[in-house]
Amino acid sequence: MSAAPVPSADNPLYAYDLPPRFDAITPAHIAAAISDLVARQDAGLAELEAGAAPTWAGLVEPLARLGEPLGWAWGVIGHLLGVRNTPELRAAHETVQPAVIAAGLRQSQSEPLYRGLLALRDSTEWNRLDDAQRRIVDLGIRSAQHSGIGLHGAARERFNQLEATIGELATAFANRLLDATKAWGLDLTSADEVAGLPPSLRASAAQAARAAGHSAATAENGPWRITLEGPLYGPFLEHARRRNLRERVYRAGITRASSGDTDNQPVLERILALRRLQAGLLGYASYAEVSLARKMAENVATVEHLLDELRAAALPRARGELAELQTFARAESGDAGLELAHWDVAFWAERQRERRFAFTDEELRPFFALPAVLDGLFALARRLFGVVVTPADGEAPVWHGDVRFFRIADQSGAPLAAFYLDPYSRPADKRGGAWMDECLHRKRRADGSVRLPIAYLVCNQTPPITGGSGGAAGAAAAGDTPSLMTFREVETLFHEFGHGLQHMLTTVDHADAAGIRNVEWDAVELPSQFMENWCYHRPTLMGFARHWQTGAALPGALFDKILSARTYRAGSAVMRQLHLATLDLELHHRYVPGRDAVEDIAKRVSVQNAVLPRLPDERFLCSFSHIFAGGYAAGYYSYKWAEVLSADAFAAFEEAGLDDDAAVAATGRRFRDTVLSLGGSRHPLAVFTAFRGRGPNTAALLRHYGLAS
């Protein structure tokens, strides 16, 4: 093979076997490197097509090697687009994206390669391949089929066009959403307008105001800026006493990216239409059928059965919760005729929560300073899985001063992996949400050595307060308040770390089945949601929840309230997820462009799943980036599907005895040796069964939510 590029000192996008040179990569590197890498990949492909033997060593291994340089560089660029977005970077990305997509299609649609894989599956070597190798070949064949390998002439061309256009539309969707989010802000100047906002929110809002040019903004005197970023938007709706301001902010949120230059409505309609056309070309009735052909769930009916089962338990509960909240709000407000509107629900739910559990996110924040939370998380990883995490800041270049670098080793000291952590919200140039992505995947090199995996863990939690005066938790001095996390932000960190563990603790040597690779989408959230369960385990949480200034432990009574709060309005929370999952499935299965209106589907699904009538001007789909700019198309149900798996997996620890250290360690080891180690090398049902000794069921999930009948 001649395709491996020579690492060039001039262009850091060639250094594909190493951690990326984030201190050196600029948009100017992109065009030259990507064009060249595309050309090299094409040349290598031609070589393989001309003479590859239909064997594992002759075809599959060289193919994996061939895709690596471009795949790595493209991954780095995609990562930067998410965490250090600039107009120059976007422009450079857009310039080369069509060429990269085309190169991917040439490979996935290569008939000689496809025939080679089929020949390998029919050969005598097949019986000597291990499970991972067979799954890789099977996936390769199915993926080729989904890439239009069976299409010829004009149909093939049409399919490729659709693929490229959908890629562009997805990027446009994400960019418009980011622009719309950045463009909207509400500047508040009077004490009356910020009535009810807790100190940390005022401090964050003052920081947002300073970032928007009000250089003298302070937490005490304002001005305060509310934006659509998670750490400001959600808490504002929970705490702002001024109902008309809540309504303005809420409406801005649900109409985000739905008008003017950033209108995503035409974009998403086109995406849906083109996906349906693609599905038709492949011989499927809908895009949902294409999606489910590569999932753990068998088909649309299987998924709908699960959603129905959960809906039957959750919907009556959610209706009861709303009625209860209405009664509470009327009594508290003294307005016997009060009808709860959408912008009231979070506010009154938070008041009812305070009343019932007598604690707020704000009381908890001081106990969840990021450094202490990390210590607790790493101690848990050691206890459960026998791995040791140590800071390694400075050992790899980072893309922003706030980013940390860590290494993971076995208890014996043997290095296993490394990861970056980019914890804070950075609205100016960072995408919202939280995610784990692979930087380098594990693989065994040709010389027998193993390249260890590296992960990106990205969150959007409350940043530390620097500069200005005041701070969360009544810090006396100016500046220097660490990131004080909400409990939800703690759960999110545990969640992403769970994804990271599956990527990093894999023992699979075949690159294409290592870590989260080759894991069906609906099983991918198993380790992440599994890790969230530990936030509700008393010794685990009490072990790290200490006041950042006094060192005092979290009061036991507060922990009890966290536990009770877990099932607070659980029916409503489950229904929210079922609503989104159903919406996604309907749009990708039953919606027929030209015949139906997207709005009608949204309305119909809302009637079936929402407890408050949908607002006529609601345009939530315009910001539903999971299904239009992420990988969740006809796959949003995966969250609930995987939650069934993760709750049931955690139940194995409950059954072993959560306070029995030896039992927990033994069960943790088994979890590491199955779910975390095997990755995509086996079917997820086989992996789950290897850990649990049986298939999954919904009992543990319903019990954890207090929804069991």
In angstroms, what is the minimal distance from the CB of 499 to Zn ion? 6
To Zn ion, the closest distance from the beta carbon of 703 in angstroms equals: 22
Tokens 């709000």 -> residue = 329
Degrees to nearest 5, angle at CA 399 with 457 and 69: 80
Q: How many residues does the chain have?
A: 709
Q: At its nearest, how many Å lie between Zn ion and the CB of residue 525?
A: 5
Q: How far is the CB of 458 from Zn ion (least distance, A)?
A: 11
User: What's the distance, CA 531 to chain centroid?
Assistant: 14
* Cα 584 from Cα 43, distance rounded (Å): 40
Phi-psi region of 394 (alpha: psi -120 to 50; beta: other; left: phi over 0): left
Phi, psi of 69 (to 5 degrees): -60, -45
Q: Which residue is nearest to Zn ion (CB)?
A: 528
Per the CB < 8 A criterion, the answer to whether 543 and 657 are in contact is no
Number of residues that bind Zn ion (CB under 5 A): 2
| CA 459 – CA 435 distance, rounded (Å) | 7
Structure tokens at 31: 């065009």
Three-class secondary structure of residue 427 per DSSP: coil
**CB neighbour burial string for 171-191, b if at least 16 within 10 angstroms, e if fewer:** bbbbbbbbebbbebbbbbeee
The two tokens of residue 316 are: 């009556």
CA distance 478 to 475: 8
Of 321, 496, 520, 525, which one is the catalytic site residue? 496
Nearest-approach distance from CB 51 to Zn ion, in angstroms: 42
Side chain identity at residue 143, one-letter code: S
Tell me how far, at minimum, the Cβ of 592 lies from Zn ion, in Å: 31
Work out how close the CB of 687 gets to Zn ion at its nearest, in angstroms, rounded to a whole number.
Answer: 17
Catalytic, 496? Answer yes
Which lies closer to Zn ion via its Cβ, residue 620 or residue 639?
639
CB-nearer residue toward Zn ion: 425 or 528: 528
Binding map of Zn ion across residues 518-557, x = CB under 5 A, - = no contact: -------x--x-----------------------------
User: Quick one: how far is CA 1 from the chain centroid?
Assistant: 36
Q: How far is the CB of 82 from Zn ion (least distance, A)?
A: 15
Residue 492 in tokens: 């999110």
**Minimum gap (Å) between residue 291 Cβ and Zn ion:** 17
Rounded to whole angstroms, what are the CA distances from 106 to 55, 88, 109, 150, 509?
Answer: 21, 28, 5, 13, 26
Question: In the complex with Zn ion, which residue's Cβ is closer, 147 or 518?
Answer: 518
Is the Cα dihedral 24, 27, 30, 31 positive or negative? negative
Neighbours of 265 (CB within 10 A): 15
d(CA 349, CA 51): 66
Burial class (CB in 10 A: 0-12, 13-18, 19+), 532: buried
What is the rounded CA–CA span in Å between residue 129 and residue 30?
39
Query: At its nearest, how many Å lie between Zn ion and the CB of residue 55?
Result: 37
Strand, helix or coil for residue 704 = helix
357 DSSP assignment: H
Q: CB under 5 A: which stretch of 103-111, 252-260, 293-301, 517-525 binds Zn ion? A: 517-525
What are the backbone angles phi and psi of residue 212, rounded to the nearest 5°? Answer: -90, 10
Which SS3 state, helix, strand or coil, does residue 554 take? coil
Chain-centre distance for alpha carbon 345: 26
Tell me the residue ranges of DSSP E strands in 166-254: 185-188, 224-227
Binding status of residue 11 toward Zn ion by CB under 5 A? no
The answer to whether 183 touches 212, Cβ cutoff 8 Å, is no
Q: How far apart are CA 238 and CA 240, in angstroms?
A: 6
State the nearest-atom distance from the C-beta of 500 to Zn ion, in Å. Answer: 10
Q: Cis omega before residue 223 (within 30°)?
A: yes
Beta strand 415-424 pairing with 454-461: parallel
**8 A C-beta contact, residue 570 and residue 701:** no
| DSSP state at residue 672 | I
Residue ranges in contact with Zn ion by CB under 5 A: 525, 528
Q: Which residues are catalytic?
A: 496
